Structure 1
């Protein structure tokens, strides 16, 4: 009788799990939802206000307010086009503002630090953030910035102390940071809880920028949690506010590719983004989708385009180091990838950087050393599926079957986040 009851409950559990999975699998996107946002319209990289501010800078380099406004416009142009030139132009304007500011200097220092974060110049940004904090103006903003930077640099104990220093459950800035903190710890449920609170704050304020930020970040979290439909509708809500938002379109393209396995439609969406936004990483995604579709010509062309953009423009600096390690490993240029991974660890000693270093060590035949790095710097320090996949490969090479098995189960649950190509690799672990 006991055995029969036990089997009954197992059967019920399997049925419930299957029903949940079936409900998720049944969801499909509808191109009518997003087609209107794919129309090709050039990104505006000027305005009458920009021209006014820019002319003031050219006629009088001491126009501090105009320098700040122009820098903000350049940053917006960069976000819309992906062209590194605009980010460097913003840097130039902010450097001048920092140089001449007598009042409000801490604000310009923080703005320049955030520009450096976009360029992955984290250690330089940290120096600026500390200087801004020492000036004593905008203390909470400086502490928030210091939290962000220490998270980027893998200084999690220090970051947590700064997070405590800005604690305010009614503040949007605190809510999004405590959400990110919980995501870092692997507590996705709590991360979603706080991001939903941040979204509610944004909706009550009707601040366009905060709405876009909260919708896209919560959409990402929902995707990681397997809530694909919820993720999709938040990306659509983002596009209702900002019809040109490349990030939201990329999110929809990923759902179409990873969830629906529709490579052709995902490429159509991606191509519409790339007509306006020239960020190099789009070519890498295009190459991955082409690989999934067994279109080797498109895959090679996309990788070649990525390489040309990065090689031809040194202004990118360290921004694409992590991408480049994967890129080089994919081409079996293992020694160069290993050297670049070492450089990335020096610039940004995070578990993710160490994971790349370990994986590149594996490719050059140093399995034992790779495992030492994984166990010292990665396991328990990050829950990013892509990095845990690399850890599983390292463990496999070292014959650690139990550890591979445990990671494999976890990774299969993150199949949507990793995509079909990685899912196939995980299945063969």
Structure 2
């Protein structure tokens, strides 16, 4: 009897022991899984959030003061205006102050008018300024004006490629790209990278951007290193290489410690990949003190939506629109405004108005998607489908556009067309953000 009891006790003890082992093994597995999801480490980037000095900002201000004094002493030296304009453009990149962008335009207009639009370099500079302002058709006029003069043709072809891509003139853009084809030229490499990204070939886009990075590093060019590192951060994120994306953002910050774009990229990783909303908000709050842009309010509103914090969501959207009211951003935020207005039935008609303007100014698949989405939210699903099939379907690989497409298909009972898009969207959740997870599951 005692022997049987001991056997039973031993058996039960072994079962308990095995259960304990299994329990701890499960905990270790969960811990490892969580650890593998963790990419960011505040120790890597806290120093950049806490920085007080900004050498790039100080240098741009110094250069403006230097060239302004030279111009004041010799007002006939119009070329000085381009130097001043260039540094105001840098100020805009650093601070996000829209007035610096308009000051750049003012100086370049004065310079071009004095030269009677005969200097291709100054014409192209104004064209680039118009691209930043989303005045793409005006930029195209200037690019063609530079082309007609005939000097610096390669540089003008680069500008034409950039403008035509923004306008959705993809056949023309490809011709502009074919006019370059120098595999060692940095500007060609970043543009063929962009072209392949447009075609949906992300792997090739990354490979060309890597080659551009090699050129930047070899020449030890600070501006080009910042450009390639930050773009590789973006491209790798879209490809699902989150750790690589994070490392490239850190590389960007090592070159330019105050780079707001890279810090915003890290905030997105914390939010979208790690679901660490508190850390994402901490980063955004620190960055927005240095770089004042409406984008940050939109990101905070998106985080609040994910947290189901309607008070904070409304508060951030209100701050976003207040900033647009207090500053003239022109058409720069039309895309975001259309999306916000379209999602609310009381403002859907306003979304339609803006979408029509966007299509007129910039007839790209993105603009037509906004138009189709506005009609969808107004309940005109047939009109939405007509526009989407003609101007959006198979013309873009942007996840949000494809989500809209799937919703429009679903509303028109085209379930067979929804399934493949749903599968593709599930692999694009990082790029779309956590608030889309349930939306995609409901497709």
Is TM > 0.5 for Structure 1 vs Structure 2? yes
Q: Distance in 1 between matches of 2:115 and 2:266?
A: 43
Structure 1 stretch 316-325 or stretch 102-111: which is displaced more?
A: 102-111
**Does the aligned pair in 2 maintain the 1:40–1:276 contact within 8 Å?**
no
Aligned partner of 2:331 in structure 1 is 318
Aligned partner of 2:305 in structure 1 is 291
**Does the aligned pair in 2 maintain the 1:163–1:178 contact within 8 Å?**
yes
Aligned partner of 2:87 in structure 1 is 73
Q: CA deviation at 1:280?
A: 0.8
Q: Secondary structure of the residue that 1:41 maps to in structure 2?
A: coil
**Does the aligned pair in 1 maintain the 2:112–2:118 contact within 8 Å?**
no
Q: CA deviation at 1:82?
A: 0.8
2:41 pairs with 1:30: yes
**Does the aligned pair in 1 maintain the 2:61–2:87 contact within 8 Å?**
no
Aligned partner of 2:236 in structure 1 is 222
Q: CA separation of 1:37/1:142 partners in 2, compared to 1, >3 Å: closer, same or farther?
A: same
2:138 pairs with 1:127: no
Q: Distance in 2 between matches of 1:299 and 1:42?
A: 32
CA-atom RMSD in angstroms: 1.8
Q: CA deviation at 1:264?
A: 0.6
Q: CA deviation at 1:423?
A: 2.1
Equivalent of residue 266 in structure 1, options 280, 286, 298: 280
Q: Secondary structure of the residue that 2:151 maps to in structure 1?
A: coil
**Does the aligned pair in 2 maintain the 1:62–1:100 contact within 8 Å?**
no
Deviations 1:222-265 (A, max 9, x none): 00110000000000000000000000000000000000000010
Q: Secondary structure of the residue that 2:332 maps to in structure 1?
A: coil
Q: Distance in 2 between matches of 1:269 and 1:148?
A: 31
Q: Distance in 1 between matches of 2:219 and 2:35?
A: 32
Q: Distance in 2 between matches of 1:24 and 1:373?
A: 45
Aligned partner of 1:348 in structure 2 is 362
2:254 pairs with 1:243: no
Q: CA deviation at 1:311?
A: 1.8
Aligned partner of 1:177 in structure 2 is 191
Deviations 1:275-332 (A, max 9, x none): 0111111110110011112222221111001101112223x11111101101212343
Q: Distance in 2 between matches of 1:346 and 1:114?
A: 20
Q: CA deviation at 1:424?
A: 2.0
Q: What TM-score, normalized by structure 1, do the two folds share?
A: 0.92
Aligned partner of 1:280 in structure 2 is 294
Question: How do residues 4-83 of structure 1 correspond to structure 2 at under 5 angstroms?
Answer: 25-39=36-50, 41=52, 44=57, 47-58=61-72, 60-83=74-97
Q: CA deviation at 1:27?
A: 4.1
Deviations 1:360-391 (A, max 9, x none): 00011110111111111111111000111111
Q: Distance in 2 between matches of 1:277 and 1:53?
A: 25
Aligned partner of 1:15 in structure 2 is none
Q: CA deviation at 1:193?
A: 1.1
Aligned partner of 1:414 in structure 2 is 428
Aligned partner of 1:373 in structure 2 is 387
Equivalent of residue 329 in structure 1, options 322, 338, 342: 342
Q: CA separation of 1:26/1:109 partners in 2, compared to 1, >3 Å: closer, same or farther?
A: same
Q: Distance in 1 between matches of 2:190 and 2:36?
A: 30
Q: CA deviation at 1:146?
A: 0.2
Q: CA deviation at 1:26?
A: 3.4
Q: CA deviation at 1:401?
A: 0.7
Aligned partner of 1:11 in structure 2 is none
